Structure 1
Amino acid sequence: MRRPVFSLLLLSSLTFFLGLGRQAISDSDEAFYAEAAREMVESGDWLTPHFNYQDRWQKPVLYYWLTAGTYLTAGTSESTARWWSALGGMALVLLTWAAARRMGRPEAAWLAGAIVATCYGCFAMARLALPDLPLAFLVTLTIWSAFEGRWLVAGAAAGLGLLMKGPVALALPALVLLPVWWREHRLRALPLRELALAGLVCALVGVPWYAAMTLEHGTAYLQSFFVADNLERFATDRFNDPRPIWFYLPIVLGGMLPWTMYMAILPWRSVRGVARRARALTPSEWRLLAWAGIPLLFFTLSIGKQPRYVLPVLPPLAVLVAGMIAARVHGPAHARISLRAATWATAALYAVLAILLLRAEPLFVSASPGLTRASIAIIAASALVLAALGLAAAWRWLPATLAACSAALLLSLQFGALAGVRPEPVEQMAAAVHRHRHSGESVGAYQVFVRNLIFYTRLPQANLYDEARALDFLRSPQRVLLVVRAADVPRLEAISGVATTRLAEVTYLDPANVRLRTLLAPIPDQDLDRVVLVTNR
């Protein structure tokens, strides 16, 4: 038991922790959590989170507390902002391994943990200061503990999940557990006393902070968080643009990369069995399918869809995929035909990615050219290794080789194309703000570096949500500093009637704007953003 645990700890340390602080805080929700925790330490207010020196009621407090505590002990940095996300990922790896062992899949347990450690969805989220991967761990722990009858652990995990992300930490386990217990005829046999104790533990852990916030801010907080930020986010397009019903299909497939090709093995046994008769599924297969499918259906029915919401789906999928791979590795020769096809398809995927990265190299202006080329070479070499493995039919080595190649792929991206040379553009812009700002002058960011600039300037920032606010900001009678895309400056000047003075400029590739066309036919002048610092005086 020690050997698989140690190897999974080593693997997840590499994929989740190595180079954790190499990238600057991104201009995404990550900046909310990194900066709010910093302001918590700065203000000493451990009850109400703040962002941009204003109350932030949108999310519960646990991730802020954990990150603020890390700031106090190890300093404020990108790595300390992300530490708890990476730790949540490592814990999820070990929990997936343990769950697979307990569900009667010991031969697949190590591979299931390795899939979680090396799939792109968990890798990417572990390297962002976001609560979603710790939440996935807590939701998984709640479900697995309830299946095992460890009610107090389930209650504590649910309570921590309530503090981590809100009611979704209670909804997802309930949606999974109740149908499974109903199918297994266990609903009437549930131990009510233990369930009540679990509920009490959950309430004792999760409710006091909400009560304190209500006492401090009144019912306006309850309306803002539970109604607006949860119910309306689920049922309306107030916070997110509506997305198609199939939105999560490519998200799940992409999140499982580079293991996605092996998911093609799954339907021929499980889905066909369901179509013929549901009883063909073993109890563990039914639990895993419900565990993955019901949350996916729940989020598919929501209006407000975000890619990271489906992270709790990945662990049960990893167990299913690992089980299918293990069954074919140890099964008869004819069963390995699909295994060889999936391995060669994965090798082709690596090769295509290497070619795309090579073509897109002119766009990686913030990366080291040497590291970028080395990462491309490693990905190409991994493709050759997998192709040779499929050709040699050395199936005994398949799980370890797949895990090693997956880790090599992710770390090559981390230290190559995705790794910027510090200081990164947002840090350069923050330094320019400090160089050119006179005492008391307002700073604003319009449609670029809106969230992460404040983490590096540590200055209050004007909220320029739309063009009208940006125009009013430029028309201010006082001297102000505005961070904006160079392409937007002529329009703002023409409408506002204000001639700006350019003080600084940076160029960067915004990952949010990368599309397949960007990699296939990169156009640096079109795909790279020029961001400028201007003043109205």
Structure 2
Amino acid sequence: MDDVDAVQAQIARTMLESGDWVTARLDGVAYLEKSPLIYWMMAGSFRVFGVHDWAARIPLALSVVLLCWVTYRFGRWAMGEQAGVFSGVALATSVGLYLFTRIQIPDAVLTLTIAVTLWAWMRLQEPEEANPRAWAILMGFALGCGLLLKGLIAIVFPLGAGLLYMAATRQLWSGATWKRLQPWLVLLVMMVVAAPWHVLATLWNPPYFAFSMHSGPGEYHGFFWFYFFNEHLLRFLNLRYPRDYNTVPRALFWVLNLAWLFPWSAFLPGAVKLSYNRGSRAGRLRLMLLCWIGVVMVFFTFSTTQEYYSMPIYPALALLAGAAIAEGRWVRAGRWFTVAIFGSLAIVLGTVLFMAARLPAKGELADALAQHPEMYTLSLGHMLDLTLGAFAYLKLPLALAVAAFAIVAVGAAIARRRVGLMVAVMVAGMVVFFQAARLALVRFDPYMGSYQLATALLESPPGTLIEADAYYAFSSVFFYTNREALLLNGRSANLEYGSYAPNAPQVFIDDAGFVRRWESGERYYLLTDNGDLPHLRELVGEAHLHVVKQSSGKSLLSNM
């Protein structure tokens, strides 16, 4: 897809082809805001399988499988086989984990490093642990990888949860406990993993102007200021430069976690009845889970948020839900709540399907969607574009979703006290629902991506490419064609800061530069949203805008 999805993949491709594994670049411009491990993983996949879209997704997919396995093993170690299995499948079939791993973002891999760190923390606090050195090394490795995925929160979250847990269990000042944790070994391994990139990135991207705590247009303070101050401190304070993001309302950010853990959130109330006595391993784990959830959610209560920022707590929620189901806490009420919710969803979507069946599905899906560009800085902003007319293009996914929800409603109703059967039915229903979601994403692909424009560009005569936006709007074209472009009025958003670096390429042009090139007699191509066409006609005249390809409200134009 366009936006961050293809951006991440193209950065990985550029690293592989350029040999520069330190500084991420987009269109030749330094892209300093993210840590590189997710790019390295994709680049490694490209080296093995070739540069393909599916190859870019393999590392994230395998990481999610590993995350679900770690959750299962974590639960099994503390609460038994059944609780571990229920926890693992709850995470694997939760809506949030599926939904937010359709895009190439590192949060699921970050969640894996946090889960491994806290599992190692728990293992190291057990006096009878047979391999404490191995677990300390694993903790340090996980923390180091987390730093290379998303910065300092990879330390803040597990450290905060671990210290809060030790305070709650009165071990914070226990020398014996700290000795078992082996903090110096953990720190050493973490630094060996993470320090080299941070040092090299700082040395290779030094400040260009005098250091300042306030970055602004034309100022470039290098990697260290932008990454540690701008992307960490100022982002937390909602003062990040440039201001190219939105934030989810705090109350909604908390409540939405019930949707992200759906359908297993129906059993979370049962966690209230579980034992949190630190005299048992299961009780200690559950206490750690509460600390884990609390630290992450309180942190983001005072920070900027996207819908998926709470992903690090998904394993903790799944472990609580799995434990509640395994111990029979709230299971009867949760089962009937599941029947009611899934039954209602089947009826509502069935009604939508009946209404949409009478509507024609002519032309493109994009023609039936509403437009809410002010919401697109949120991860799920495009969900608001759906209309009844759009569902006419989604009849098969709708039918599958209705079948999935009906299966769960009926199956959970007849399962009665057979907990294993109820879980199996819910898993089967969610697998079918995920296939419905996948088919819907296929139908949305021309709207969310620009593959058809990329294909048309590849089949066209050679020429210089111009993009009428800030790179992200057509990022899939850059991936599929592996081309760079001139960016028309595109010095904004995530490329703005790097554009002021002393070695930044001169890829940014204004209207006057565009007109001069377009009328030069050389062949140029232009990627643009159709909403910008009136302005372009004013600049060069409609007769000089030749349509090469149009798709879902986007155009590839040529000057000849």
Please give the range of the TM-score, normalised by the shorter of the 2 chains.
0.7 to 0.9
How far 1:343 sits from its partner (Å)? 2.8
Distance 2:105 2:461 in 1: 31
Is it true that 1:403 corresponds to 2:390 in the alignment?
A: no
SS class of match (2:100): helix
Is it true that 1:191 corresponds to 2:178 in the alignment?
A: yes
Structure 2 match to 1:465: 490
How far 1:403 sits from its partner (Å)? 1.0
Distance 1:393 1:242, change over 3 A: closer
Aligned residue runs from structure 1 range 16-55, under 5 A: 26-55=1-30
Distance 1:411 1:335, change over 3 A: closer
How far 1:269 sits from its partner (Å)? 3.9
Structure 1 match to 2:165: 180
SS class of match (1:418): helix
Structure 2 match to 1:503: 547
User: Paired residue for 2:402, among 376, 380, 383?
Assistant: 380
Distance 1:289 1:359 in 2: 44
One-letter amino acid matched to 1:215: L
Is it true that 1:111 corresponds to 2:86 in the alignment?
A: yes
SS class of match (1:532): strand
One-letter amino acid matched to 2:196: P
Contact persistence 2:140–2:188 (CA under 8 A): yes
Q: 107-116 vs 335-344, which deviates more?
A: 335-344
One-letter amino acid matched to 1:110: V
Q: Deviations over 1:159-202 (max 9, x none)?
A: 11111221111111111111111010111223247111111111
How far 1:227 sits from its partner (Å)? 1.2
Distance 2:271 2:79 in 1: 20
Structure 2 match to 1:485: 529
TM-score relative to the length of structure 1 = 0.80
Distance 1:186 1:421 in 2: 52
Structure 1 match to 2:515: 475
How far 1:278 sits from its partner (Å)? 12
SS class of match (2:475): coil
One-letter amino acid matched to 1:533: L
Contact persistence 1:71–1:81 (CA under 8 A): yes
Aligned residue runs from structure 1 range 35-434, under 5 A: 35-149=10-124, 150-189=135-174, 190-192=177-179, 194-218=182-206, 220-238=222-240, 239=243, 240-263=245-268, 265-266=269-270, 269=273, 282-303=283-304, 305-328=305-328, 336-353=332-349, 355-356=351-352, 362=361, 365=364, 373-396=395-418, 397-414=421-438, 416-420=439-443, 426-434=450-458
TM-score relative to the length of structure 2 = 0.77
Q: Deviations over 1:340-386 (max 9, x none)?
A: 2233323323443455466568499479x999544433322222322
Distance 2:263 2:336 in 1: 15
SS class of match (1:451): helix
Contact persistence 1:358–1:376 (CA under 8 A): no
Distance 2:58 2:353 in 1: 29
Contact persistence 2:546–2:558 (CA under 8 A): yes
Distance 1:165 1:388, change over 3 A: same
Distance 1:360 1:36 in 2: 40
Contact persistence 2:345–2:402 (CA under 8 A): no
One-letter amino acid matched to 1:195: P
Q: Deviations over 1:477-533 (max 9, x none)?
A: 345432222233114434x3644514134333xxxxxxxxxxxxxxxxxxxxx2122
User: Paired residue for 2:465, among 442, 457, 476?
Assistant: 442
Contact persistence 1:350–1:383 (CA under 8 A): yes
Distance 1:269 1:395 in 2: 19
Contact persistence 2:267–2:331 (CA under 8 A): no
Distance 1:54 1:205 in 2: 26
How far 1:233 sits from its partner (Å)? 1.7
Distance 1:77 1:194 in 2: 43
Distance 1:373 1:112 in 2: 33
Show structure 1 runs of 5+ residues with no match.
1-25, 509-529
SS class of match (2:484): coil
Show structure 2 runs of 5+ residues with no match.
125-134, 208-221, 367-390, 493-507
Distance 1:299 1:42 in 2: 37
CA RMSD of aligned residues (A): 3.4
Aligned residue runs from structure 1 range 7-18, under 5 A: none
One-letter amino acid matched to 1:69: G
Contact persistence 2:11–2:25 (CA under 8 A): yes
One-letter amino acid matched to 1:306: Q
Structure 2 match to 1:517: none
Structure 1 match to 2:495: none
Distance 2:292 2:196 in 1: 30
Distance 1:145 1:95 in 2: 11
Contact persistence 1:89–1:133 (CA under 8 A): yes
Distance 1:324 1:365, change over 3 A: farther
SS class of match (1:191): helix
Contact persistence 2:254–2:297 (CA under 8 A): no
One-letter amino acid matched to 2:557: V
Distance 1:140 1:419, change over 3 A: same
How far 1:410 sits from its partner (Å)? 0.6
Q: 465-474 vs 88-97, which deviates more?
A: 465-474
